[in-house]
Structure 1
Amino acid sequence: MEYWSSCLMFLLTLVLLLSQSLIDSSTPSPSNNFLCHPAESSALLQFSNSFIINPSLFDWLGRMNPKTVSWKNGTDCCSWDGVSCDHISGHVIGLNLSSSGLQGPLHSNSTLFSLPHLQTLILDYNNFSCSPIPPEIGSFANMKTLSLSSANFAGYIPEEISHLSKLSHLTIYGDFADCHFLMGPFVLKKMLQNFTNLMELTMNKIDMSGVELVSSFMNVSSSLTTLDLHQCGLRGKFPENVFRLLNLQELSLGINPYSPFSGNLTGSLPMFNWSSPLRYLDLSHTKISIDLPHMCSSAKSLQILLLSNCSFKGSSNSAMLTNLTQLVELNDLIIDSSNLGGQIPLFFLNLQQLAFLDLSRNNFAGWNSVGEV
Structure 2
Amino acid sequence: MIQTILLKNRPEGKPSVSDFEFVKDESDVTIKDGELLLETTYVSVDPYLRGRMSDAKSYVPPFELNKPVHSGVVAKVLASKNDNFKEGDFVSGMLDWKTKQISNGEGLLKVDGSKAPLSTYLGVLGMTGLTAYLGLNQIGKPKAGETLVVSGAAGAVGSVVGQIGKILGLNVIGIAGTDEKVEMLKSKFGFDAAINYNTTKDMKAAIAAAAPNGVDIYFDNVGGPISDAVLFNINKFARMIICGAISVYNNTELPQSISVQPFLVKNSALMQGFIVSNYADKFPEAMKELSTWLAEGKLTYTETVVNGFENIPSAFIDLFDGKNKGKMIVKI
TM-score of the two chains, using structure 1 as the length reference: 0.26
Between 1 and 2, higher relative CO (CA 8 Å, sep ≥ 6) is seen in 2
Higher helix share: 2
TM-score of the two chains, using structure 2 as the length reference: 0.28
Larger radius of gyration: 1
Higher strand share: 2
